[in-house]
Amino acid sequence: MSPSSLAVVVLAAGAGTRMKSTTPKVLHPLAGIPLIGHVLATAEALGPQQTLVVVRHEAERVREAVEEYADDAQIVHQDDVPGTGRAVELALEAVGDDVDNVVILSADVPLLDSETIEAMLGFHRDAAAEVTLLSTIHDDPTGYGRIIRREDGTVSHIVEEADADEQQRTLQEVNAGVYVARRDALAKGLPRLDTANAQGEKYLTDVVGQLAADSGLVHAVVVEDSWLVEGVNDRIQLQAMQRRLNTMIVRGWQRDGVSITDPESVWIDLSVQLDQDVTVLPGVALEGSCHIDHGATIGPDCTLSNARVGQGARIQRSVVDSAVIAAGATVGPFSYLRPGTVIEEGGKVGAFVETKNATIGKAAKVPHLSYIGDADIGEGANIGAGSITANYDGVNKHRTVIGPHAKTGSDNVFVAPVEVGAGAYTAAGTTIRRNVPAGALAVAPVSVRTVEGWVGTHRPGTASAEAAENSRTTPDSQ
């Protein structure tokens, strides 16, 4: 069987009722990728001639995800007739005549790998079977279809949980919902399905029984690692799967030389890249396309999404979204780096600082309690505590530019657009409304009025008045 004679059908039309969610089940995320994205990647790895995805419930949202993860997949819309059998029947209409075999995957069985499917295909081909399916042995088979085998070991039929009698429910070999079938066998079997069962659906599993009864050969290949073929039907199963996959991802990085001190509290998406000698401390989530370079330390308690972190950088208790943090830079604790933030080599964003669309130059520092948005902070500049770039005039955003090695005072407001020149200083408490030339000192007129003795006359008898009085009479207080 050449790969060119293969089509893959992905079943994704179900309502996912048991999730109790406004998000379609197959779009719920697992390690940063929707369930259906995992299955489409597996489908693609099989190199099929055609991939078809059957949708109905929230069809538009599911179609968008399909486009993102497999842009050459064809969408098939399921009609009002429910059931996995109906879904495949409609998909088959779009399968080319030159296709010999059809692989059927469930979009809610995300961990299955292409190697296991290839093994099923090999078995199917060698046995010249009409249908070959994957089964597994579950300690608790509740919810799955049970495999009924003949004495010779081939499959007789499958009984769904809802239709099974007490004896059948004790069977532990379950249908994984993953099949390869000859196209002509499906074409023969599917039109004969009816909905005379407990759920009133056209069951794909009934085709298996029909073909077996027609003396067609149906095989089940047992998958030893049953987690590979686990389905997601509710949030408890989804969480168990997220935990399992995350444990595998964390162990993978540990084997590759990353220190992860508390794996239980660290969540890493599949798309993240970590270099050797990165340290990940407790309470860290690394999401999307994060790439962390050699020797960087992240955590404790950080969430990084789509962040680029350079060698030896250090990020503590902070939230970082779509920012670049160069080698040796430090962030936090308690900072919020929003999209478009770039911290150049050795730069510092300290405690309680928010940044957005801003470049903090080489070795420049924003150490405390500041908002730096739409700004360029030059190399080696230092921004005083409690400073704000007033970037928004109510209609448009404007930039603040601070020159290299400028030192701005505490509690400054930079009313953008405005520029502070190279090496300039600004005094504490200044509102900078006009450009400050290079090397200048900007200082606002001092307008503090001092009323001598006010506390003594207006707050007599208070601890403050007494302290003031004492300071005047104590000789060494001068």
Binding positions for ligand UD1, rule: CB under 6 A: 11-14, 54, 78, 82-84, 86-87, 106-109, 144-145, 158, 160, 174-177, 203-205, 231, 233
Task: Compare residues 231 and 380 and give the one whose CB is closer to ligand UD1.
Answer: 231
- DSSP codes, 140-205: S-TTSPEEEE-TTSSEEEEE-GGG--HHHHT--EEEEEEEEEEHHHHHHHGGG----STT-S--HH
Question: Which strand (E) or helix (H) includes residue 85?
Answer: helix 84-93
Residues 138, 291, 294, 368: which is the catalytic one?
A: 368
- List contacts with Ca ion (CB under 5 A): 108, 231, 233
The C-alpha atoms of residue 238 and residue 223 are separated, in whole angstroms, by 20
What would the two tokens of residue 171 be?
A: 């069977």
Which of ligand UD1, Ca ion, none does residue 52 bind to, with CB < 5 to 8 Å depending on kind? none
What would the two tokens of residue 49 be?
A: 């001639």
Which of ligand UD1, Ca ion, none does residue 133 bind to, with CB < 5 to 8 Å depending on kind? none
In the complex, what is the shortest distance from the CB of residue 32 to Ca ion, in angstroms, rounded to a whole number? Answer: 22
Length of the chain: 478
The C-alpha atoms of residue 442 and residue 178 are separated, in whole angstroms, by 72
**What 8-state DSSP symbol labels residue 436?**
B
368 is known as an active-site residue: yes
In the complex, what is the shortest distance from the CB of residue 156 to ligand UD1, in angstroms, rounded to a whole number? Answer: 14
Cis check: omega of the bond before 300, within 30 degrees of 0? yes
Long-range contacts of 421-424 (CB under 8 A, 24+ apart): 422/378
> Buried (b) or exposed (e) across 97-126, using 16+ Cβ within 10 A?
eebebbbbbbbbbbbbeeebbeebbebbee
Task: Compare residues 19 and 274 and give the one whose CB is closer to ligand UD1.
Answer: 19
Which of Ca ion, ligand UD1, none does residue 78 bind to, with CB < 5 to 8 Å depending on kind? ligand UD1
In the complex, what is the shortest distance from the CB of residue 269 to ligand UD1, in angstroms, rounded to a whole number? Answer: 22
In the complex, what is the shortest distance from the CB of residue 143 to ligand UD1, in angstroms, rounded to a whole number? Answer: 7
Task: Compare residues 77 and 433 and give the one whose CB is closer to ligand UD1.
Answer: 77
Task: Compare residues 95 and 107 and give the one whose CB is closer to Ca ion.
Answer: 107
Which of Ca ion, ligand UD1, none does residue 175 bind to, with CB < 5 to 8 Å depending on kind? ligand UD1
Which of Ca ion, ligand UD1, none does residue 205 bind to, with CB < 5 to 8 Å depending on kind? ligand UD1
In the complex, what is the shortest distance from the CB of residue 307 to ligand UD1, in angstroms, rounded to a whole number? Answer: 33
In the complex, what is the shortest distance from the CB of residue 11 to ligand UD1, in angstroms, rounded to a whole number? Answer: 3
Give the dihedral of Cα atoms 104, 109, 112, 117; nearest 10 deg: -10
Which of Ca ion, ligand UD1, none does residue 144 bind to, with CB < 5 to 8 Å depending on kind? ligand UD1
Distance (Å) of CA 4 to CA 100, 105, 124, 350, 471 = 9, 18, 16, 57, 95
C-beta of residue 218 within 8 angstroms of C-beta of residue 124: no
Task: Compare residues 13 and 325 and give the one whose CB is closer to ligand UD1.
Answer: 13
Question: What are the phi and psi torsion angles at 120 (to 5°)?
Answer: -60, -40
C-beta of residue 284 within 8 angstroms of C-beta of residue 306: no
C-beta of residue 136 within 8 angstroms of C-beta of residue 222: yes
Give me the amino acid identity at 360: I
Cβ-closest position to ligand UD1: 145
In the complex, what is the shortest distance from the CB of residue 124 to ligand UD1, in angstroms, rounded to a whole number? Answer: 18
Which of ligand UD1, Ca ion, none does residue 111 bind to, with CB < 5 to 8 Å depending on kind? none
Catalytic residues: 368
